[in-house]
Chain A
Amino acid sequence: MKDFQLAWRNIWRNKRRTLITAASIFFAVFFALVMRSFQLGTYDSMYQNVIESYTGYIQIQHQDYIEEPILDNCFVADPEMIKKVESDPNVADVVPRLESYALAASGSRTQGVMVLGVDPEKEEKLSGMKERLVKFKLTDTAIGSLKLSDIPDRTKRLLDLFRNEAYSSTGRMMLDLGISTEDSADVLPVLRRYASFTNEYLSGSVPEGVLIGSGLSAFLKINVGDTLVLMGQGYHATSAAGNFIVAGIIKLPTPDIDKRIVYMPLETARDLYAAHGLATSAVLSMRDINDKAINATANRLRSLVSLPLAVRTWQEINALLLNQMEADNRSGMIMIGILYLVIAFGVFGTVLMMMAERRREFGMLVSIGMQKRKLAKVVTIEMLLMGLLGVISGIIASLPLVIYGHVRPLRFTGEFARMYEDYGMEPIMPTLLPDTYYLWQTVVVMIIISIAIIFSIRKIFRINVINSLKA
């Protein structure tokens, strides 16, 4: 305790030096944390995007499907097998899908699309499809009427920027149109009156009704109630063609998928592709979506299903995305590495100077009988305190920014947003809430400090009392 007191007093004896050293550590920790938080948060949101709107956490597929995602690599959705899988404690539901490609045509325009046959109710529970139905659309007529209404001028100006944009949530629309929460009570009813969009979800009773992405609807220029023609190849090279009615339009966060997706009831898709009783994948909805729990579940399921079926986790299904993020992640880590390298030099420099400056003081202490071991202990505590001061203040300073960035993510607009969307990403940059990466920053700083400590302890044990008193 005495040692601690001594160390505490020592570091405040030369306040300036302590503060500068702590400040350089603070600076590194703060920047590293904020940078990491944005980077990891962006990956996280991309994964969530893909997983929740599309792939799910675990799928059961034919073993060859992952390499050749074609209809012929499908499997019999055997009710008994499904029951077995459902009995796993972490599996909430098994949602079979039949997925293939087709050429969608309307009028003179055609587009290659992904056709997804889903169980309407189960899919709704898994990926919240109804939430994604378009609720507002800024059509030319809607914008015309809105401009005449008494909404704020700022919103009126923004309307042109988002012409023909479809929204599935009021939140996104409010952000785009610059509507503040205070104004929303006045403005939203006006928007509801002029820009509301009515459509319906898939239903078992209307088998020919399909949902299409808002991007696809814009490209093919078709709307709710219009006819959509699909042509393609069915199971084992039968020909597949049919007329469908657009029941609803959905907005998916990944624009690449939004531009080329058609959802239809599973049985309708099986009829279209002559694939009765078959599925290309069964998506499992999970109770616990923690990484560990998912891997454990996948391992349990692997022993349950037999060839030719295979259990795939989201990491396997999205291997390419993971590889891209990994490459990006490395570049971020190199940047932080450089930052820490610079800081390490700064810390060593300070420690070196401190040792030189206090040579006489140390010599004096040793000569009046202080054990070198005890002296080393005091100096160690001093440095740990300085390091902790920097780390803790860095963490505290980063917290408000990180939390705010998570609650209200940075949203890109204009060209930048378009670039994000071109790459199939939602144009936001959220932060990741404190996680193990916070711990790592602390560990790195502590390693730097420990090296400095080892260095100064060696110096202390080498003190030659006579020489240092003379200095």
Chain B
Amino acid sequence: MIIQIAWKNVWRNKTRSLIVILSVAVGVFAGVFAMAAMNSSVVQRIDAAVNEELSHIQVNNREFRSSSDIRDLIQGFNEVDSLMRSLPGVNSTTGRIIIRGIASTSAKSAGVEINGIDVEKEKEMFSLHKKVIPGTGSYFESETKFNSVLIGEKLAKELNIIRYILTPEAVAHLDSLKIPSVVLSKLDPVYGERFTSDKKFNRELEKLLTPNEIKKYSIQIKEAAWSYREGAKLILTFLDKDNNQTGAGFRVCGIFRTNNDMFEGMSVFVPAGELRALTGMEEGTWHRLIARLDNNDLTDELTEPARKAIPSYEVLNWKEIQPDLAMIADFMGQIYGIFMAIILAALAFGIVNTMLMAVLERTKELGMLTAIGMNRKKIFSMIMFESIFLSIVGGFAGMGIAGAVIALTAKNGINLMKYSEGMEAFGYSAHLFPTIDAQFFITTTILIVLTGILSSVYPARKALKLNPIEAIRTE
């Protein structure tokens, strides 16, 4: 009954109520959407870390992570492997050989971490094979008599395997993209010229084009000019199992692109067999055991049992290997709360103001209701419900719009190109696909109802303080 009256009261002054509802809706929408965008960068980072870089649980020799010594192996790998597999929730496992070395081409060299992998198993466990840039090769699929290596785009750029050339095909492609011929003719002087780095090419473009043209077309031009030295070879040098320097030429079989510059620049992948032949490591010996679980939520739960099952080796989950990432993920929850609370606190001012106005305007009516016997509790709850309705209608509208916009943008994402360099250096993607837990909507709803209740206290107290006799007399 009280609830119905409150609901009808809300709609007595439509303009006023709608303004408050609108402001709540806008505030909630903006807050939820901004959180979804922020959240997405963390979710995407965790996704990449688990699916491309680390998997869920890793087992190493206790010395290995600090020494990187080729002799710090997992002894009796098969036994450790079957112990790990016997844990319920472990989906699949694989071993890796990990050796520090130097990758060099005739132009340059760089320090790398060479991962000797079991290609078939890794393909099941990691999604890296989907990240091979089209046209640069494949994930160890092509038959070759050479040793083959998969490297990241960042390393390929550092080693001058990727460069920018405006070939006739590239120009033709740009022409088909409807880039004005004025712009293309301005690029005339650099046709066929080779640029070994992103920056050098950018600098040249800046010389030739106007800032406006760069803004519009530089991404397309760069994509077209991006070229890869086919069949490029690089030399990997490292220490073998007796600490003697060794090395060999490897053919680049593919180049992968992720959003993590550090990973792209440091990690190279080689089939384990080739690495064994070069280092003299025995068949079945590995440095690291990597386990993938049925799902990510099992990670914390399974780490302790794994540690107990394999006491003589170091067992770490991805959260322990990258504690900063785990912490940011936990921290996000708190940020949501704080940020929504600030927005709702700002909204509360509007609600208080409106409700106060509503109470003062209805002095006579409230006095009448008291006079004919409506008790104070009922008046209090009537006002409180009015205020809750204002906030919750606005809140649901805001969340509904936010949900719709998130669903819309999640398809194509929001691309913050301009900041990709800085964000990718930290391993975060600049292409955001907004996403948010359903949990967040529940938390927000609770916060909104709380806001409604809190902002009704002051106006409701005002209403209770009215003296019925005086109130009835007011005009």
Contacts and interface: CB of A to CB of B under 8 A. Distances in A.
A339 B343 contact: yes
A334 B416 CA distance: 14
B356 A16 contact: yes
Interface in A328-356: 330-331, 334-335, 338-339, 341-343, 345-346, 348-350, 352-353, 356
Interface string B425-450: 11000100000000000000000000
Nearest to B361: A357
B416 A327 contact: yes
Given A341-B26, A345-B19, A346-B23, A353 B353 contact: yes
Given A112-B111, A320-B421, A327-B422, A342 B343 contact: yes
A142 interface: no
A423 interface: yes
A349 B343 CA distance: 16
A322 B419 CA distance: 10
A342 B38 CA distance: 20
Given A342-B346, A423-B324, A67 B353 contact: no
A20 interface: yes
Contact of A342 (B26, B199, B328, B423): B26
Interface in A198-227: none
A333 to B, nearest CB: 11
Given A27-B349, A346-B353, A338 B422 contact: no
A418 B16 contact: no
Interface residues of B, number: 43
Interface residues of A, number: 44
A73 interface: no
Contacts of A153: none
B349 A24 contact: yes
A415 B327 CA distance: 8
Nearest to B352: A20
Contacts of A419: 323-324, 327-328
Given A338-B27, A338-B34, A353-B353, A348 B19 contact: yes
B30 A341 contact: yes
B395 interface: no
Of A27, A321, A322, most buried by chain B (CB within 10 Å of CB) is A27
Given A323-B419, A327-B416, A338-B27, A27 B346 contact: yes
Contacts, number: 115
Contacts of B324: 418-419, 422-423
Interface in B174-192: none
Given A320-B425, A330-B419, A349-B20, A17 B353 contact: yes
Given A31-B342, A342-B347, A67 B26 contact: no
Contacts of A324: 419, 422-423, 425-426
Given A67-B197, A335-B339, A357-B357, A323 B27 contact: no
Contacts of A246: none
B31 interface: yes
A51 interface: no
B142 interface: no
Contacts of B20: 349
Interface string B339-351: 1001101110110
B295 interface: no
A326 interface: yes
A14 B34 CA distance: 37
A461 interface: no
A172 B16 CA distance: 56
Nearest to A324: B422
A109 B66 CA distance: 10
Given A415-B323, A415-B327, A419-B327, A326 B353 contact: no
A334 B16 CA distance: 28
Contacts of A338: 27, 30-31, 34, 343
Contacts of B27: 338, 341-342, 345
8 tightest CB-CB pairs across the interface, nearest first?
A: A345-B23, A323-B422, A324-B422, A24-B349, A327-B419, A346-B350, A342-B27, A419-B324
12 contacts: A24-B346, A67-B199, A324-B423, A330-B419, A342-B23, A343-B346, A345-B350, A346-B353, A349-B353, A356-B15, A419-B324, A419-B327
